[in-house]
A and B are shown apart, each in its own frame.
Chain A
Amino acid sequence: MAAPERRGGELRRGGPGPLARVRGYFRLHAQNLLGSLGRLARQPLASLLTVAVIGIAMALPAGLDVLVTNARALSAGWASAVDFSVYLEPGQPLARAETLAAEARGHADVVAVEVISADEALAQLSQFTGMQAALEALSDNPLPHTLVVRPRPGLSAEAVGRLADGFETLEGIDLVQLDTAWVERFLAIVDIARRASGIILLLLGFAVVVIVGNTIRLDIENRRSEIEVMKLIGGSDGFIRRPFLYGGLWYGVIGGLLAVVFNASALLALAGPVQRLAGLYGTDFALQGPGLSGLGMLVGGGALLGWLGAWVATSRHLRDIEPT
């Protein structure tokens, strides 16, 4: 054994200085951050299962959100691509319709104007079975001349509405019919889906907190004797709690990353078929991913939920462990 007299000077008392305390604090956090990751890695299967469940729970609402976002993007295209009909007042000559059509073609937001004369309209109508007899009973053609206006693609729904309103104020126009009701109905359905995805997000977010909380609770139970020793030698609640909080953080972050992978795989698998479908409809619509901010939200949200789960578990269970 070493001679204590020689080392006697080492038994001087005194705590660390303030600067050393601050440095020690940050070093401790860094050590806990890496240490808790190492602890996860030492039980790969159990950690993987926990992280996979978190990943799935987070991928579901995120995936739904991607679908809703895409449906909105798609329907926004429809709302502006819709043609509208401009009916002239009865008795207006066909020449007036032609003049209006020529003027409209010069408008920057209009790509095509088709003139349907009253006679053509009647001919089209009489092709419907059962209508012929009824039409023949009329002494003259009750239908007005009509313009079918196609707005420039990419125009917002509001701009299309303004364009249509502009026609309504013109001389000799009876009625402008813009049939966007079905688009609005579709958007209402999409809004319901969006709301539902919000509810699912809340529920599954809660599930992630519970999953992490339960995992950390088991972890605390397994390390009971270690926690007792820490308390015996003066470990504060914060000191003992920190590695568990970082453990929860890691579960959340890795679960979030896994959710990103799940979503990216699903998008990749759907991209081909969606492109084929879009091709059949003659559009170049492509699925939009969640983007960088979406990925950040998944990972950041995972971190927050994991931390929260660990916080709840440590608040409840660390207090109960006291040395005896």
Chain B
Amino acid sequence: MIRFEAVGKRYSGGGEALATLDFEIAAGEFVFLTGPSGAGKSTLLKLVALIERPSRGQVVVNGQNTRKVARRRIPQFRRGLGMVFQDHKLLADRSVFDNVALPLLIAGFAERDINRRVRAALDLVGLADKAPRLPLTLSTGEQQRVGIARAVVSKPPLLIADEPTGNLDPALSLEIMRLFERFNELGVTLLIATHDIDLVTRLGHRRVELVEGRLVGDTGRRHGSA
């Protein structure tokens, strides 16, 4: 599902964010990306989402070499993966329903299908009754669940998340992770960057660790991942 081949990333005017990274994530895996701040976790996710392009090497996502995705094809590419952010990135002037519906609207789904799918996604994250509310009237944990519903509503095979529990207390963090595990059971591949080591240890999925842009640890594929 994701393959990094000798990938390096150097920001102009900055240091080396990633140095010669090689690893592969198979379809259906649940992978935590860990490491201290500045280790290159976010950069790695940005390479997957084509927010950044590698300086060296190749990143293959969903069978597509990101090097060969032209600028105007990036939207189409991004529709093939769901993204969850630490700050949710919800649109404050639209209802929960409209926020979740946005990826379907972009993809050109019919209104009937949009209604059905958005309801299903909100049901899945336990927010079916919050559909008409504005995001800012919800708690942080609920807002994050709206963000997750938006990421999965178009049923992408791959979900990436950058510190999805960064602003949540341990109980809510676990709740969010359990939600991700349910998607994993449904066949979705997950790559989650986090520095919540306790939670990672407790859940026991594959863990890829970065330090200063280098791969320093990989527990390998675990049983229990679908």
Q: Which residues of A contact B (CB under 8 A)?
A: 1-2, 4, 7-8, 10-16, 20-21, 23-25, 27-28, 225-226, 228-237, 239, 322-324
Task: Determine the chain A residues whose CB is within 8 A of the CB of B116 once the complex forms.
Answer: 10
B90: nearest chain-A partner, CB-CB: A229
Add 10 more A-B contacts to A1-B175, A20-B109, A234-B76 (CB < 8 A): A4-B183, A8-B186, A11-B152, A24-B105, A229-B90, A230-B102, A231-B78, A232-B78, A234-B107, A239-B75
Whole-angstrom distance between the alpha carbons of A232 and B106 in the complex? 11
Q: Is the interface of B mostly helix, strand, loop or mixed?
A: helix
- CB-defined interface of B76-106 with A at 8 Å, one 1/0 digit per residue? 1111000100000111000000000011011
Please tell me if the beta carbons of A28 and B179 are within 8 angstroms of each other in the complex: no
Q: Is the CB of A233 within 8 A of B186?
A: no
**Given the interface contacts A7-B124, A232-B49, A237-B75, does A16 sit within 8 Å of B107 by beta carbon?**
yes
State whether A28 touches B105 (Cβ < 8 A): yes
CB contact under 8 A between A323 and B179, given known A16-B107, A28-B108? no
Which residues of chain B (35-65) have a CB below 8 Å from chain A?
Answer: 49, 51
Find the A residue at minimum CB distance from B82.
Answer: A233
CB of B75 within 8 A of CB of A234, answer yes
A7 and B123 contact, CB distance less than 8 A: yes
Q: Which residues of A contact B198 (CB under 8 A)?
A: none
Secondary structure of the A contact surface, majority rule: helix
- Which chain B residues in 98-148 approach chain A with CB under 8 Å? 102-103, 105-111, 113, 116-117, 120-121, 123-126, 128
Q: Is B155 an interface residue (CB 8 A)?
A: yes
Residues of B within 8 A of A10 (CB): 116-117, 120-121, 124
Complex-state Cα separation, A13 to B89, whole angstroms: 24
Q: Determine which of A1, A14, A232 lies in contact with B126 in the assembled complex, contact meaning CB atoms within 8 Å.
A: A1
Q: CA A110 – CA B122 in complex, angstroms?
A: 88
Contact sample, A vs B, 27 pairs, CB 8 Å cutoff: A2-B123, A2-B124, A2-B125, A2-B128, A4-B183, A10-B116, A10-B117, A10-B120, A10-B124, A11-B152, A11-B183, A11-B186, A15-B108, A16-B110, A20-B110, A24-B108, A24-B110, A28-B105, A231-B75, A232-B49, A233-B83, A233-B106, A234-B103, A234-B106, A235-B106, A237-B72, A323-B51
Task: Report the bound CA distance from A16 to B76 in whole Å.
Answer: 14
Number of interface residues of B (CB under 8 A): 43
Q: Chain A nearest CB: distance from B44 CB in Å?
A: 15
On chain A, the residues within 8 Å of B186 by CB distance are 4, 8, 11
Pairwise interchain contact A1-B125, C-beta atoms closer than 8 A = yes
The answer to whether A1 and B179 have CB atoms under 8 Å apart is yes
Return the chain B residue nearest A324 by Cβ: B51
**Nearest Cβ on chain A to B155's Cβ, whole angstroms:** 5
Residues of B within 8 A of A229 (CB): 89-91
Smallest beta-carbon distance A318→chain B, Å: 12
